[in-house]
Amino acid sequence: MGETVGEGGTGTLRSLGELSSDVIRAMHDHSFRRQASEQEHTNPAMARANLANLDHTAPVPSDTQARLLLDTAFFGGLLEEEGRRATFTLAFVSPASVAEKSDLDALVFAKPLPLSPKRLAKLAPAAHPGATYVGVFPNAGGELEIWGLVHRGDRTFGVDLEIDPWFLRVRAHRPGTLSGHYIGGLLFLYTRGAVHFFQARYDLLGVLRERFRVGEDDGEVAQVICRLVRRLLDHGHGGALLIVTHGVSPKALRFHESYGPADQRCTMLRAAVRAYEDDLGGRGSTKQTPEKAVHERYRRERRYVDALGFVAQLTAVDGATVLDDELHLLGFGAIIVTTDAPDDIVVRVENVYTGGTETMRVSDFPGTRHRSAIQFCASQPDDTLGVALVASQDGQLSVFAKAPENRTVIALRSFELGLGI
Protein backbone atom coordinates (compact mmCIF):
# COMPACT_ATOMS: atom_id res chain seq x y z
CA MET A 1 0.00 0.00 0.00
CA GLY A 2 1.26 3.47 -0.72
CA GLU A 3 2.47 5.79 2.00
CA THR A 4 2.04 9.51 1.53
CA VAL A 5 4.69 11.85 2.81
CA GLY A 6 3.09 14.66 4.76
CA GLU A 7 1.47 15.58 8.03
CA GLY A 8 -1.49 13.58 9.21
CA GLY A 9 -0.98 10.86 6.61
CA THR A 10 -2.42 12.96 3.79
CA GLY A 11 -0.76 14.13 0.60
CA THR A 12 0.87 17.54 1.05
CA LEU A 13 2.62 19.73 -1.47
CA ARG A 14 6.32 19.01 -1.74
CA SER A 15 9.01 21.02 -3.48
CA LEU A 16 11.41 19.17 -5.75
CA GLY A 17 14.17 19.86 -3.22
CA GLU A 18 12.17 18.14 -0.50
CA LEU A 19 11.33 15.33 -2.93
CA SER A 20 15.01 14.62 -3.66
CA SER A 21 15.78 14.23 0.06
CA ASP A 22 12.74 11.98 0.51
CA VAL A 23 13.77 9.80 -2.44
CA ILE A 24 17.31 9.31 -1.15
CA ARG A 25 15.97 8.46 2.30
CA ALA A 26 13.56 5.91 0.80
CA MET A 27 16.34 4.33 -1.29
CA HIS A 28 18.60 3.94 1.73
CA ASP A 29 15.65 2.55 3.70
CA HIS A 30 14.83 -0.10 1.09
CA SER A 31 14.54 -3.54 2.67
CA PHE A 32 17.48 -4.95 0.67
CA ARG A 33 19.80 -2.20 1.92
CA ARG A 34 18.48 -2.47 5.47
CA GLN A 35 19.09 -6.22 5.51
CA ALA A 36 22.63 -5.76 4.22
CA SER A 37 23.35 -3.11 6.86
CA GLU A 38 21.94 -5.26 9.64
CA GLN A 39 24.38 -8.04 8.70
CA GLU A 40 27.23 -5.77 9.86
CA HIS A 41 26.79 -7.08 13.41
CA THR A 42 26.74 -10.78 12.51
CA ASN A 43 28.79 -11.03 9.33
CA PRO A 44 30.73 -7.85 8.54
CA ALA A 45 32.44 -9.27 5.45
CA MET A 46 29.17 -10.36 3.88
CA ALA A 47 27.55 -7.02 4.77
CA ARG A 48 30.33 -5.11 3.02
CA ALA A 49 30.11 -7.36 -0.03
CA ASN A 50 26.33 -7.02 -0.28
CA LEU A 51 26.41 -3.24 0.11
CA ALA A 52 29.19 -2.96 -2.48
CA ASN A 53 27.10 -5.01 -4.90
CA LEU A 54 24.07 -2.77 -4.28
CA ASP A 55 26.20 0.34 -4.79
CA HIS A 56 27.21 -1.07 -8.17
CA THR A 57 23.88 -2.42 -9.43
CA ALA A 58 21.52 -0.04 -7.60
CA PRO A 59 23.56 3.08 -6.76
CA VAL A 60 22.11 5.91 -4.68
CA PRO A 61 22.78 9.45 -5.93
CA SER A 62 24.02 12.20 -3.66
CA ASP A 63 21.56 14.84 -2.54
CA THR A 64 22.86 17.29 -5.16
CA GLN A 65 22.71 14.65 -7.89
CA ALA A 66 19.21 13.55 -6.92
CA ARG A 67 17.98 17.13 -6.97
CA LEU A 68 19.41 17.73 -10.45
CA LEU A 69 18.02 14.40 -11.68
CA LEU A 70 14.50 15.21 -10.48
CA ASP A 71 14.65 18.87 -11.54
CA THR A 72 15.70 17.86 -15.04
CA ALA A 73 13.00 15.19 -15.29
CA PHE A 74 10.32 17.57 -14.03
CA PHE A 75 11.17 20.53 -16.25
CA GLY A 76 12.08 18.33 -19.22
CA GLY A 77 8.56 16.91 -19.02
CA LEU A 78 7.15 20.42 -19.46
CA LEU A 79 8.91 20.94 -22.79
CA GLU A 80 7.76 20.05 -26.29
CA GLU A 81 9.79 18.84 -29.22
CA GLU A 82 8.26 19.28 -32.67
CA GLY A 83 4.85 19.85 -31.13
CA ARG A 84 4.94 16.75 -28.89
CA ARG A 85 5.30 16.74 -25.14
CA ALA A 86 8.52 15.08 -24.01
CA THR A 87 8.12 11.76 -22.20
CA PHE A 88 11.16 9.75 -21.16
CA THR A 89 12.80 7.61 -18.50
CA LEU A 90 16.10 8.50 -16.85
CA ALA A 91 18.24 5.60 -15.60
CA PHE A 92 20.79 6.34 -12.87
CA VAL A 93 23.31 3.66 -13.82
CA SER A 94 26.87 3.45 -15.12
CA PRO A 95 27.79 2.09 -18.57
CA ALA A 96 29.97 -0.54 -16.87
CA SER A 97 27.04 -1.86 -14.86
CA VAL A 98 24.81 -2.06 -17.95
CA ALA A 99 27.52 -3.92 -19.87
CA GLU A 100 27.40 -6.71 -17.26
CA LYS A 101 23.67 -7.33 -17.72
CA SER A 102 22.67 -9.84 -20.38
CA ASP A 103 19.13 -8.45 -20.71
CA LEU A 104 20.25 -4.89 -21.47
CA ASP A 105 22.01 -3.25 -24.39
CA ALA A 106 23.68 0.14 -24.41
CA LEU A 107 24.57 2.79 -26.94
CA VAL A 108 27.42 4.68 -25.28
CA PHE A 109 27.78 8.12 -26.83
CA ALA A 110 31.11 9.13 -28.32
CA LYS A 111 30.89 12.28 -26.19
CA PRO A 112 28.66 12.55 -23.10
CA LEU A 113 26.13 15.39 -22.89
CA PRO A 114 25.56 17.67 -19.92
CA LEU A 115 22.26 16.85 -18.22
CA SER A 116 19.67 19.58 -18.84
CA PRO A 117 15.92 19.75 -19.56
CA LYS A 118 16.44 21.09 -23.07
CA ARG A 119 18.94 18.39 -24.07
CA LEU A 120 16.68 15.75 -22.58
CA ALA A 121 13.65 16.98 -24.54
CA LYS A 122 15.73 16.88 -27.73
CA LEU A 123 16.78 13.30 -27.04
CA ALA A 124 13.39 12.02 -25.82
CA PRO A 125 11.94 11.11 -29.28
CA ALA A 126 14.76 8.57 -29.71
CA ALA A 127 13.94 6.74 -26.48
CA HIS A 128 10.51 5.20 -25.88
CA PRO A 129 10.12 5.57 -22.09
CA GLY A 130 8.99 1.98 -21.60
CA ALA A 131 11.73 0.36 -23.69
CA THR A 132 14.74 2.66 -23.84
CA TYR A 133 16.15 4.69 -20.97
CA VAL A 134 18.39 7.74 -21.03
CA GLY A 135 21.53 6.69 -19.18
CA VAL A 136 22.69 9.24 -16.59
CA PHE A 137 25.67 8.95 -14.23
CA PRO A 138 28.25 11.23 -12.61
CA ASN A 139 31.55 11.74 -14.37
CA ALA A 140 34.93 11.75 -12.62
CA GLY A 141 34.18 15.21 -11.26
CA GLY A 142 30.84 14.09 -9.77
CA GLU A 143 28.70 16.00 -12.30
CA LEU A 144 25.77 14.22 -13.88
CA GLU A 145 25.93 13.67 -17.62
CA ILE A 146 23.99 11.78 -20.26
CA TRP A 147 26.34 9.01 -21.30
CA GLY A 148 24.05 7.15 -23.72
CA LEU A 149 20.91 5.06 -24.15
CA VAL A 150 20.00 1.86 -22.29
CA HIS A 151 17.80 -0.36 -24.43
CA ARG A 152 15.66 -2.94 -22.74
CA GLY A 153 12.91 -3.57 -25.27
CA ASP A 154 10.09 -5.93 -24.40
CA ARG A 155 11.27 -8.13 -21.56
CA THR A 156 7.90 -9.54 -20.58
CA PHE A 157 7.34 -13.26 -20.26
CA GLY A 158 4.07 -15.03 -19.80
CA VAL A 159 1.38 -12.36 -19.90
CA ASP A 160 2.45 -9.03 -18.41
CA LEU A 161 5.07 -10.61 -16.16
CA GLU A 162 8.30 -8.66 -16.06
CA ILE A 163 11.44 -8.48 -13.96
CA ASP A 164 12.48 -4.84 -13.60
CA PRO A 165 16.08 -3.61 -13.36
CA TRP A 166 17.38 -2.67 -9.93
CA PHE A 167 18.86 0.74 -10.71
CA LEU A 168 16.87 3.92 -10.12
CA ARG A 169 14.61 4.92 -13.01
CA VAL A 170 12.74 8.24 -13.04
CA ARG A 171 9.98 8.53 -15.64
CA ALA A 172 8.22 11.69 -16.79
CA HIS A 173 4.70 10.58 -17.66
CA ARG A 174 3.13 13.97 -18.32
CA PRO A 175 3.68 17.55 -17.12
CA GLY A 176 4.08 17.52 -13.34
CA THR A 177 3.94 13.74 -12.91
CA LEU A 178 7.03 11.66 -12.16
CA SER A 179 7.44 8.10 -10.97
CA GLY A 180 10.50 6.33 -9.66
CA HIS A 181 11.34 2.63 -9.67
CA TYR A 182 14.13 1.08 -7.61
CA ILE A 183 15.27 -2.51 -6.97
CA GLY A 184 12.56 -3.94 -9.19
CA GLY A 185 9.57 -2.09 -7.76
CA LEU A 186 7.70 1.21 -7.66
CA LEU A 187 9.42 3.57 -5.22
CA PHE A 188 7.46 6.82 -5.50
CA LEU A 189 4.83 8.74 -7.43
CA TYR A 190 4.96 12.53 -7.59
CA THR A 191 1.83 14.13 -9.02
CA ARG A 192 -0.12 17.34 -8.44
CA GLY A 193 2.59 18.44 -6.04
CA ALA A 194 2.15 15.47 -3.66
CA VAL A 195 4.50 12.52 -3.29
CA HIS A 196 3.55 8.97 -2.39
CA PHE A 197 6.07 6.28 -1.44
CA PHE A 198 5.38 2.56 -1.74
CA GLN A 199 6.49 -0.38 0.33
CA ALA A 200 4.54 -2.76 -1.90
CA ARG A 201 2.10 -2.70 -4.76
CA TYR A 202 -1.55 -2.06 -3.91
CA ASP A 203 -3.28 -5.43 -3.92
CA LEU A 204 -6.15 -4.60 -6.26
CA LEU A 205 -6.16 -8.25 -7.29
CA GLY A 206 -6.83 -9.36 -3.73
CA VAL A 207 -9.46 -6.65 -3.23
CA LEU A 208 -11.35 -7.75 -6.34
CA ARG A 209 -11.23 -11.41 -5.33
CA GLU A 210 -11.77 -11.32 -1.61
CA ARG A 211 -13.56 -8.09 -0.87
CA PHE A 212 -15.66 -7.56 -4.00
CA ARG A 213 -16.11 -11.28 -4.81
CA VAL A 214 -15.00 -10.95 -8.44
CA GLY A 215 -14.07 -14.41 -9.68
CA GLU A 216 -14.29 -15.94 -6.22
CA ASP A 217 -14.76 -19.34 -7.88
CA ASP A 218 -12.10 -18.69 -10.52
CA GLY A 219 -8.98 -16.89 -9.38
CA GLU A 220 -7.89 -15.98 -12.92
CA VAL A 221 -10.88 -13.69 -13.51
CA ALA A 222 -9.68 -10.94 -11.17
CA GLN A 223 -6.20 -11.18 -12.71
CA VAL A 224 -7.69 -10.63 -16.16
CA ILE A 225 -9.60 -7.57 -14.89
CA CYS A 226 -6.36 -6.06 -13.53
CA ARG A 227 -4.67 -6.62 -16.89
CA LEU A 228 -7.61 -5.02 -18.69
CA VAL A 229 -7.42 -2.00 -16.40
CA ARG A 230 -3.77 -1.36 -17.29
CA ARG A 231 -4.63 -1.37 -20.98
CA LEU A 232 -7.71 0.77 -20.40
CA LEU A 233 -5.46 3.41 -18.86
CA ASP A 234 -2.84 3.05 -21.58
CA HIS A 235 -5.13 4.07 -24.44
CA GLY A 236 -5.69 7.44 -22.78
CA HIS A 237 -9.34 8.01 -23.76
CA GLY A 238 -10.87 7.25 -20.38
CA GLY A 239 -13.71 4.75 -20.10
CA ALA A 240 -15.77 2.50 -17.88
CA LEU A 241 -15.68 -1.26 -17.38
CA LEU A 242 -18.60 -2.91 -15.56
CA ILE A 243 -18.43 -6.41 -14.06
CA VAL A 244 -21.73 -8.25 -13.50
CA THR A 245 -22.83 -11.73 -12.44
CA HIS A 246 -23.00 -14.37 -15.16
CA GLY A 247 -26.55 -15.30 -16.10
CA VAL A 248 -28.18 -12.36 -14.26
CA SER A 249 -29.55 -9.39 -16.21
CA PRO A 250 -27.92 -6.26 -14.77
CA LYS A 251 -30.16 -3.48 -13.53
CA ALA A 252 -29.96 0.22 -14.49
CA LEU A 253 -28.25 -0.58 -17.78
CA ARG A 254 -29.37 -0.07 -21.37
CA PHE A 255 -27.29 -1.85 -23.98
CA HIS A 256 -26.59 -0.22 -27.32
CA GLU A 257 -28.82 -1.60 -30.04
CA SER A 258 -25.81 -2.49 -32.21
CA TYR A 259 -22.69 -2.64 -30.02
CA GLY A 260 -23.29 -6.08 -28.63
CA PRO A 261 -22.77 -9.68 -29.79
CA ALA A 262 -25.58 -11.12 -31.92
CA ASP A 263 -25.66 -14.26 -29.75
CA GLN A 264 -25.90 -12.27 -26.47
CA ARG A 265 -22.30 -12.79 -25.41
CA CYS A 266 -18.87 -12.84 -26.98
CA THR A 267 -16.49 -15.59 -25.81
CA MET A 268 -13.28 -14.21 -27.35
CA LEU A 269 -11.61 -13.19 -24.10
CA ARG A 270 -12.83 -16.19 -22.13
CA ALA A 271 -11.64 -18.64 -24.80
CA ALA A 272 -8.22 -16.98 -25.04
CA VAL A 273 -7.76 -17.08 -21.24
CA ARG A 274 -8.83 -20.71 -20.99
CA ALA A 275 -6.53 -21.81 -23.83
CA TYR A 276 -3.61 -20.03 -22.18
CA GLU A 277 -4.39 -21.56 -18.79
CA ASP A 278 -4.62 -25.03 -20.31
CA ASP A 279 -1.21 -24.56 -21.85
CA LEU A 280 0.35 -23.42 -18.56
CA GLY A 281 -1.32 -26.28 -16.71
CA GLY A 282 0.02 -28.85 -19.14
CA ARG A 283 -3.44 -29.69 -20.41
CA GLY A 284 -2.61 -28.96 -24.04
CA SER A 285 -1.76 -31.56 -26.64
CA THR A 286 1.07 -33.92 -25.66
CA LYS A 287 1.56 -35.24 -29.20
CA GLN A 288 3.49 -32.25 -30.50
CA THR A 289 7.15 -31.93 -31.30
CA PRO A 290 9.07 -29.48 -29.05
CA GLU A 291 9.17 -26.95 -31.89
CA LYS A 292 5.41 -27.11 -32.41
CA ALA A 293 4.79 -26.95 -28.66
CA VAL A 294 6.80 -23.72 -28.39
CA HIS A 295 4.97 -22.25 -31.38
CA GLU A 296 1.60 -23.22 -29.91
CA ARG A 297 2.44 -21.65 -26.53
CA TYR A 298 3.48 -18.42 -28.23
CA ARG A 299 0.31 -18.42 -30.33
CA ARG A 300 -1.90 -18.86 -27.27
CA GLU A 301 -0.06 -16.16 -25.36
CA ARG A 302 -0.42 -13.73 -28.28
CA ARG A 303 -4.12 -14.60 -28.56
CA TYR A 304 -4.58 -13.77 -24.88
CA VAL A 305 -2.70 -10.46 -25.15
CA ASP A 306 -4.60 -9.50 -28.30
CA ALA A 307 -7.96 -10.30 -26.67
CA LEU A 308 -7.07 -8.10 -23.69
CA GLY A 309 -6.15 -5.25 -26.01
CA PHE A 310 -9.34 -5.67 -28.04
CA VAL A 311 -11.67 -5.49 -25.03
CA ALA A 312 -9.75 -2.64 -23.39
CA GLN A 313 -9.97 -0.56 -26.58
CA LEU A 314 -13.77 -0.92 -26.61
CA THR A 315 -13.89 1.19 -23.44
CA ALA A 316 -12.74 4.21 -25.47
CA VAL A 317 -16.24 4.45 -26.97
CA ASP A 318 -18.80 6.55 -25.06
CA GLY A 319 -20.73 4.41 -22.61
CA ALA A 320 -19.63 1.38 -20.61
CA THR A 321 -18.09 -1.94 -21.63
CA VAL A 322 -19.74 -4.83 -19.80
CA LEU A 323 -18.22 -8.20 -18.82
CA ASP A 324 -19.70 -10.93 -16.71
CA ASP A 325 -17.67 -12.74 -14.07
CA GLU A 326 -16.97 -15.60 -16.49
CA LEU A 327 -15.25 -13.15 -18.87
CA HIS A 328 -18.00 -13.06 -21.49
CA LEU A 329 -18.24 -9.71 -23.26
CA LEU A 330 -21.89 -8.59 -23.10
CA GLY A 331 -21.52 -5.35 -25.02
CA PHE A 332 -19.95 -1.90 -25.12
CA GLY A 333 -21.27 1.62 -25.43
CA ALA A 334 -23.91 0.72 -22.81
CA ILE A 335 -25.72 3.53 -21.01
CA ILE A 336 -26.23 3.56 -17.25
CA VAL A 337 -29.85 4.50 -16.52
CA THR A 338 -29.93 6.67 -13.42
CA THR A 339 -33.59 7.76 -13.35
CA ASP A 340 -34.68 4.91 -11.09
CA ALA A 341 -31.52 4.74 -9.00
CA PRO A 342 -31.84 5.55 -5.28
CA ASP A 343 -30.92 9.14 -4.50
CA ASP A 344 -29.73 8.51 -0.94
CA ILE A 345 -26.69 6.38 -1.78
CA VAL A 346 -23.84 6.65 0.70
CA VAL A 347 -20.33 6.50 -0.77
CA ARG A 348 -17.46 5.33 1.42
CA VAL A 349 -14.36 6.76 -0.24
CA GLU A 350 -11.01 5.10 0.47
CA ASN A 351 -7.78 6.75 -0.69
CA VAL A 352 -5.58 3.91 -1.93
CA TYR A 353 -2.36 5.86 -1.34
CA THR A 354 -2.97 7.44 2.06
CA GLY A 355 -5.37 4.93 3.57
CA GLY A 356 -7.69 7.79 4.53
CA THR A 357 -11.46 7.40 4.33
CA GLU A 358 -14.41 9.74 4.10
CA THR A 359 -18.15 9.35 3.59
CA MET A 360 -20.32 11.41 1.28
CA ARG A 361 -23.62 11.39 -0.60
CA VAL A 362 -23.58 10.35 -4.22
CA SER A 363 -24.76 13.83 -5.22
CA ASP A 364 -21.57 15.27 -3.75
CA PHE A 365 -19.24 12.89 -5.57
CA PRO A 366 -17.31 14.67 -8.37
CA GLY A 367 -17.80 13.66 -12.01
CA THR A 368 -20.92 12.63 -13.91
CA ARG A 369 -19.36 9.37 -15.12
CA HIS A 370 -18.32 8.46 -11.59
CA ARG A 371 -21.75 9.24 -10.11
CA SER A 372 -23.36 7.06 -12.79
CA ALA A 373 -21.02 4.20 -11.89
CA ILE A 374 -21.94 4.55 -8.22
CA GLN A 375 -25.66 4.46 -9.07
CA PHE A 376 -25.11 1.38 -11.24
CA CYS A 377 -23.39 -0.47 -8.41
CA ALA A 378 -26.06 0.48 -5.87
CA SER A 379 -28.85 -0.65 -8.23
CA GLN A 380 -27.69 -4.26 -8.56
CA PRO A 381 -29.69 -6.91 -6.68
CA ASP A 382 -28.37 -8.44 -3.48
CA ASP A 383 -26.02 -11.41 -3.92
CA THR A 384 -24.97 -10.22 -7.39
CA LEU A 385 -21.92 -8.35 -8.55
CA GLY A 386 -21.93 -4.64 -9.10
CA VAL A 387 -18.37 -3.52 -9.80
CA ALA A 388 -17.34 -0.54 -11.95
CA LEU A 389 -13.83 0.52 -12.93
CA VAL A 390 -13.73 4.06 -14.29
CA ALA A 391 -10.73 5.78 -15.88
CA SER A 392 -10.58 9.48 -16.62
CA GLN A 393 -8.70 10.93 -19.57
CA ASP A 394 -5.96 12.26 -17.32
CA GLY A 395 -5.10 8.72 -16.20
CA GLN A 396 -6.86 8.43 -12.85
CA LEU A 397 -8.63 5.16 -12.04
CA SER A 398 -11.48 4.76 -9.56
CA VAL A 399 -12.98 1.42 -8.54
CA PHE A 400 -16.56 1.17 -7.24
CA ALA A 401 -18.37 -1.78 -5.73
CA LYS A 402 -21.57 -2.40 -3.86
CA ALA A 403 -20.99 -2.72 -0.11
CA PRO A 404 -22.80 -5.22 2.14
CA GLU A 405 -24.64 -2.33 3.79
CA ASN A 406 -27.85 -1.29 2.08
CA ARG A 407 -27.45 1.58 -0.43
CA THR A 408 -23.74 1.93 0.28
CA VAL A 409 -20.99 1.88 -2.34
CA ILE A 410 -17.25 1.59 -1.75
CA ALA A 411 -15.06 3.89 -3.85
CA LEU A 412 -11.33 3.21 -4.13
CA ARG A 413 -9.51 6.34 -5.38
CA SER A 414 -7.41 7.35 -7.21
CA PHE A 415 -4.87 5.15 -8.90
CA GLU A 416 -2.68 7.40 -11.04
CA LEU A 417 -1.87 5.89 -14.44
CA GLY A 418 -2.33 2.43 -12.95
CA LEU A 419 0.85 2.88 -10.92
CA GLY A 420 0.97 0.97 -7.69
CA ILE A 421 -1.49 -1.71 -8.79
Q: So where are the chain's domains?
A: 2-198, 204-416
What order of strands is seen across the sheet that includes strand 239-244?
253-254, 329-336, 320-324, 239-244, 387-391, 396-402, 408-416, 346-351, 357-361
Number of neighbouring beta carbons within 10 Å of residue 139: 11
Nearest CA to 329 among 237, 220, 417, 224? Answer: 224
pLDDT tens-place string over residues 84-115: 889 999 999 999 999 998 889 999 999 999 99
Please give the torsion angle defined by the CA atoms of residues 157, 316, 264 and 159, in that order, rounded to the nearest 10 degrees.
0
The model's pTM is 0.83
For 204-416, give the CATH class.
Answer: alpha beta
pLDDT tens-place string over residues 359-410: 999 989 988 899 999 999 999 988 899 999 999 888 889 999 998 888 899 9
pLDDT tens-place string over residues 128-181: 998 999 999 999 999 999 999 999 987 777 777 777 899 999 999 989 999 999
